[in-house]
Amino acid sequence: MTEPLRLGIAGLGTVGVGIVRIIQKHAALLEARSGRPVVISAVSARSRTKNRDVNLSDYDWEDDPVTLATREDIDVFVEVMGGSEGPAKDATEAAIRAGKDVVTANKALLAIHGQALAEAAEVAGRVIRFEAAVAGGIPVVKALTEGLAGNEITRVMGVMNGSCNYILTRMEDAGLSYEAVFDEANQLGYLEADPELDVGGIDAAHKLALLSSIAFGTQVDFDAVELEGIGAITIDDIRQAADMGFKIKLLGVAQLTGRGLEQRMSPCLVPDTSPLGQLQGGTNMVVLEGDAVSQIVLRGPGAGEGPTASAVMGDVMDIARGMRLSTFGQPAKTLRKARAARAAVPAPYYLRMQLLDKPGALAKVAHALGEAGISINRMRQYEHGDATAPVLIVTHKTTQTALDEALADFRATGVVSGDPVAIRIEAV
């Protein structure tokens, strides 16, 4: 009989319990598809007494995940604890040193330490798989490393945080403020213990950094991601963008240009008729563009017990079948360190500002744009009942540098009240 693949699972939260349930429910199916039994040898979590509504009595228990990672009776260390430092990092490194393969859902760990861990795994002859770390149940890592391996990837783009997408679509559907929907999402348990990881774009930026590495053959560089969350988006922005045919999404975009690697996670406008524009609720969507395949769109649940555990098990099954892939799609030593580029590719922008009710105010704003080399595509002014009037402008394609110059000049005109809002418009 073929030897079983033996797992040690560190972390018995939502995802860890989901993995246990899949293995218990589909043992025969997993064996039939991989050609060998897939079993759990031992588990580890913070509390032994917590009620998890799943039978763990058949598995050994280790209080220390590092001890679990080095047990002789496990072949694959499954890390679903989370965190970029501490037990998750220590146990993952210990597993590699002990000759274990690693499957992880930990995007923060890999976004910060991915290069070092990948090199260590290759020296030890081990693999690290992380499908569950990016976009939940969507097999985007597999798509890039396997299905699109014959393509030169030109752009990676997507909505990679379901909580932010829920907030933005809920604001629009219910006509509620950001603050009201944030509180609602927090009460429903949709946000991390530190909500800034979600609404600040950090969680999604971790994912983008990992996809960039695979897509462009570069070392993971989370620190180079331009990062802006959704906290400044108002219900007026959402309504007024809709009036002009757009939806606002927290969008991750990565592309390699002659100036370097552009990685940004920020609110963007997308056409409301596009796949990204029609994305609702907590769903994720990733758009991949390659020279041979053109564009493909992957859509699905970005989090939750079932989808994330499903992604973990996809990696486990590949290891059970004997598949040995480099962590980021090619040997870690060959990954080059990319030069960071800041919004190098020109794009149109949506501008919202409050103009003082003075003669010539609009002309001064138009002049400032013209001096920066920016032309106006569309403009709309709304009725007002006080001393200022809301004005919307959609520009033709321009650079971030030119836009920054224009925004600085706005302040010198004396007719703009407060800080203008500028949101990039992405072609999809």
By annotation, the residues acting in catalysis are 207
Q: How far apart are the C-alpha atoms of 28 and 82, rounded to whole Å?
A: 30
Q: How far apart are the C-alpha atoms of 284 and 9, rounded to whole Å?
A: 26
Which residues on neighbouring strands pair with residue 416, listed in sequence order?
355
Three-state SS for 280?
Answer: coil
Q: How far apart are the C-alpha atoms of 169 and 174, rounded to whole Å?
A: 8
* Residue appearing with tokens 């922005």: 237
Which tokens in the block code for residue 99?
């000759």
Query: E strands of 160-245, at which residues?
Result: 226-227
Residues whose CB falls within 8 Å of the CB of residue 80, separated by 6 or more in sequence, listed in order: 9, 10, 11, 13, 15, 16, 19, 104, 105, 106, 132, 312
Q: How far apart are the C-alpha atoms of 89 and 109, rounded to whole Å?
A: 7
11 in Cβ contact with 45 (< 8 Å) = yes
234 in Cβ contact with 177 (< 8 Å) = yes
Which tokens in the block code for residue 366?
């138009």
Radius of gyration, alpha carbons of the chain: 24
Which tokens in the block code for residue 225?
């991601």
Query: Helices (DSSP H) in 144-195: which residue ranges?
Result: 162-174, 178-187
Q: How far apart are the C-alpha atoms of 78 and 317, rounded to whole Å?
A: 12
User: What distance lies between CA 125 and its chain's CA centroid?
Assistant: 29
Which residues on neighbouring strands pair with residue 376, listed in sequence order?
395
Q: How far apart are the C-alpha atoms of 265 and 392, rounded to whole Å?
A: 23
User: What distance lies between CA 2 and its chain's CA centroid?
Assistant: 38
129 in Cβ contact with 102 (< 8 Å) = yes
Q: How far apart are the C-alpha atoms of 184 and 179, rounded to whole Å?
A: 9
Which residues on neighbouring strands pair with residue 246, listed in sequence order?
271
Q: How far apart are the C-alpha atoms of 193 and 198, rounded to whole Å?
A: 10
